[in-house]
């Protein structure tokens, strides 16, 4: 069975993870690592990972999301 829904893109954001490199307090050095790009859809509480490159979506875009079981 295929499930499909129409929704609106609320945000497109690159996620980051911060790693401590050295030092402490005001001398601490950190490095950001990209976790990839995430899209948040209207009516959803979570953002969905769409890969390492920015997807071709912008806030306000109308989209169709489809789910299908893969065997």
Q: Given pLDDT bands bounded at 50, 70 and 90, which one contains residue 70?
A: very high
Please spell the DSSP secondary structure of 10-26, one letter per residue.
EEEEEEEEEEEEE--GG
- Per-residue pLDDT of 8-61, as tens digits, reads 999 999 999 999 999 999 999 999 999 999 999 999 999 999 999 999 999 999
Note the pTM of the prediction, 2 decimals: 0.81
6 CB-near residues (< 8 Å, 6+ apart): 62, 63, 64, 65
Q: Residue 5: what pLDDT? A: 94
DSSP E strand stretches across 1-71: 2-22, 29-41, 47-51, 62-68
């Amino acid at each position: 069975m295929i499930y499909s829904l129409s929704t609106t893109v609320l945000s497109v954001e690159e996620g980051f993870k911060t790693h401590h490199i050295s030092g402490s307090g005001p001398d601490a050095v950190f490095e950001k690592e990209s976790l990839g790009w995430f899209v948040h859809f209207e009516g959803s509480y979570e953002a969905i990972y769409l890969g390492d490159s920015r997807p071709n979506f912008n806030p306000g875009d109308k989209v169709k999301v489809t789910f299908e079981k893969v065997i």
